[in-house]
Amino acid sequence: MPARVRRKLPVLTFVLLAVLATAGAAAAANGGFTPQYPHSPNAKSINHAYDLIFILTAAVFVIVETLLVVFIWKYRSRGRRRDVEGPQVHGHTRLELLWTAGPVLILAVIAAFIFVKLPAIANVPASSAADRVNITVEAHQFYWQFDYPNGAKSINDLHVPVDQVVYLTIKSADVDHSWWIPQLGGKTDAIPGRTNHTWFKADKTGTFLGQCAEFCGVFHEAMAARVIATSSRAYTDYIDKTASADLGRAEFQGVCATCHGMQGEGGYGPAIAANPILTQPQSLTPLLRNGGRALMPAVGNDWTDAQIKALVDYVGKHVYKGATSGG
């Protein structure tokens, strides 16, 4: 018996290695076999943890499924009568202890590796406390609002400097949401009444996509976010000048247009392009702050006067088509 096992060992090892190699190749090409290619140190460490678990669980998977297939093949009935019994083995204590201890060992390795990697994932890099950028993310039905250190705000597009630690304070203004940019780390829920934190450090300039990961209502799917990592100069430019000039457009397109259409032509919500309320701040403001009578959420329940003014200016100029031209 042991000789037979020894003969088969190389074959088994070969099969195991071949499967792992294939899996590795698939993972490298990333057709969805690992989390997305990381562009932040915390995301990188998460991927390392993922890779280790993948290798260990893949090995267990191959062992179990191989045994299953081999047993099915080897011990198939081959026309034996139903009343022919196999050996009446009721158990084997040592063997059972072995396959209890094996998983314990594997899981201990995984847990230990997680604890080793944890500081690099959860802790904000301490050395950069001075020049880290603190930004507040406020999740709303159905948009993201970003508050920059100088008071500037943006909607759905988060501008950050590359190679700098960005420390996010995450809140919600209504229901649960979840902040998630896969290439820049894991999820952090935005929960009303709570303040959560996370961080990332983009290692290249570019745009990183993500979307809300906690079901938050009818437009959950539309609640996308973009992180735009630029040079430090471009970032300063953005928050000092562009952000406030662009706020009205960003608010309309990021907040109102989700339901009312990019030109206010209507969609899930009614058409508003011809609605005179767009030119009446005294009526528009309570609508934004408290929501509408029917389905409209209180999208601007904590907006500043400047935010409301930016929106009023924008819709008056670019969206409102006059009471007659609508229809």
Partner 1 sequence: MAVRSEAVYPVSWKQGRIASWLVTVDHKRIGILYIVTALVMFAGGGLMALLMRAQLTTPNEQFVTKNTYDELMTMHGTVMIFLVVVPIMAGFGNFLVPLMIGARDMAFPRLNAFSYWTYLLGCIVLWMSWFSASGPARSGWTAYTPLSEAAFTPGHGQDYWILSLHILSISSLAGAINFLVTIHNMRTRGMTWMRIPLFVWAMETYSILLVAVLPALSAGLTLLLLDRQAGTHFFIPSQGGNVILYQHVFWFFGHPEVYIMVLPAMGMISEILPVFSRKPIFGYKAIAFSTIGIAFFSMLVWAHHMFAVGMPIGLDAFFMISSMIIAVPTGIKIFNWLATTWRGNLIFDTPMLFALGFIALFTMGGLSGIFLAAFPVDWQVTDTYYVVAHFHYVLFGGTMFGIFGGLFYWWPKMFGRMLDERLGKIQFWLMFVGFNVAFLPMHMLGLLGMPRRIWTYHHGGLWETYNMISTIGSGIMSIGLLVFVANVWIAHVLRRGVRVGNDPWLADTLEWYAASPPIPHNFDSVPYVTSARPLRDLRRRLAEELP
Residues 8-37 that bind partner 1 (CB under 8 A): 31-36
Taking CB under 8 A as the criterion, the residue among 132, 220, 226, 309 binding partner 1 is: 220
Count of Cβ atoms closer than 10 Å to residue 281 Cβ? 16
**272: phi then psi, degrees, rounded to nearest 5:** -125, -5
Sketch the per residue contact string, 259 through 298, with partner 1: x for CB under 8 A, - otherwise. ---------x----------------------------x-
Q: What are phi and psi of 297, to 5 degrees?
A: -75, 160
Distance, CA of 203 to CA of 163 (rounded, Å): 5
Which one of the spans 15-23, 115-123, 250-258, 318-326 is the region binding partner 1 (CB under 8 A)? 115-123
Strand pairing report for 133-140 and 143-147: antiparallel
Please state, in angstroms and rounded to a whole number, the distance separating the CA atoms of residues 217 and 140: 11
- Number of other residues whose CB lies within 10 A of the CB of residue 223: 24
* Closest to 270 measured CA to CA, from 252, 298, 296: 296
Rule CB under 8 A: say whether 2 interacts with partner 1.
Answer: no
Taking CB under 8 A as the binding criterion, the range among 66-74, 157-165, 275-283, 317-325 that sits at the site for partner 1 is 66-74
The secondary element (H helix, E strand) that includes residue 169 is strand 166-172
Min CB(13)–partner 1 separation in Å: 20
Look up residue 124 and give its two tokens. Answer: 């904000």
Among the residue ranges 5-13, 203-211, 243-251, 275-283, the one whose residues contact partner 1 (CB under 8 A)? 203-211
For the CB of residue 280, give the shortest distance to partner 1 in the complex, in Å.
Answer: 26
CB nearer to partner 1: give 14 or 215.
Answer: 215
115 binds partner 1 (CB under 8 A): yes
Compute the residue count for the chain. 327
121 part of the interface to partner 1, by CB under 8 A: yes
- Minimum CB separation of residue 128 from partner 1 in Å reads 21
103 phi and psi, to 5 degrees?
A: -60, -35
User: Is residue 53 part of the contact set for partner 1 (CB under 8 A)?
Assistant: yes
Q: Which 128-147 positions form the footprint of partner 1 (CB under 8 A)?
A: 141
CA 127 to chain centre: 27
Instruction: Give the one residue of 41, 210, 261, 300 binding partner 1; rule: CB under 8 A.
Output: 210
Please say which residue, 7 or 99, places its beta carbon nearer to partner 1. 99
Site stretch for partner 1 (CB under 8 A), options 58-66, 131-139, 150-158, 230-238: 58-66
- In order, the DSSP letters of 112-144 are HHHHHHHHHHHSPPGGGTTTPEEEEEEEETTEE
- Closest to partner 1 by CB, 3 vs 130, is 3
Q: What is the CA radius of gyration of the chain?
A: 28
Residue 100 binding partner 1, by CB under 8 A: yes
Tell me the β-bridge partners of 227: 158, 208
For position 60 contacting partner 1 by CB under 8 A, the verdict is yes
303 touches 250 (CB < 8 A): no
Rounded (10°) CA dihedral 39, 43, 45, 49: -130
Contact pattern from residue 168 through residue 197 relative to partner 1, giving x for each residue in contact according to CB under 8 A and a dash for the rest: ------xxx-x-x-x--xxxxx-xxxx-xx
Nearer to partner 1, 2 or 31 (CB): 31
State which residue, 174 or 239, has the beta carbon closest to partner 1. Answer: 174
Q: Among 9, 21, 55, 209, indicate the residue that binds partner 1 (CB under 8 A).
A: 209
Residues near partner 1 (CB under 8 A), total: 86
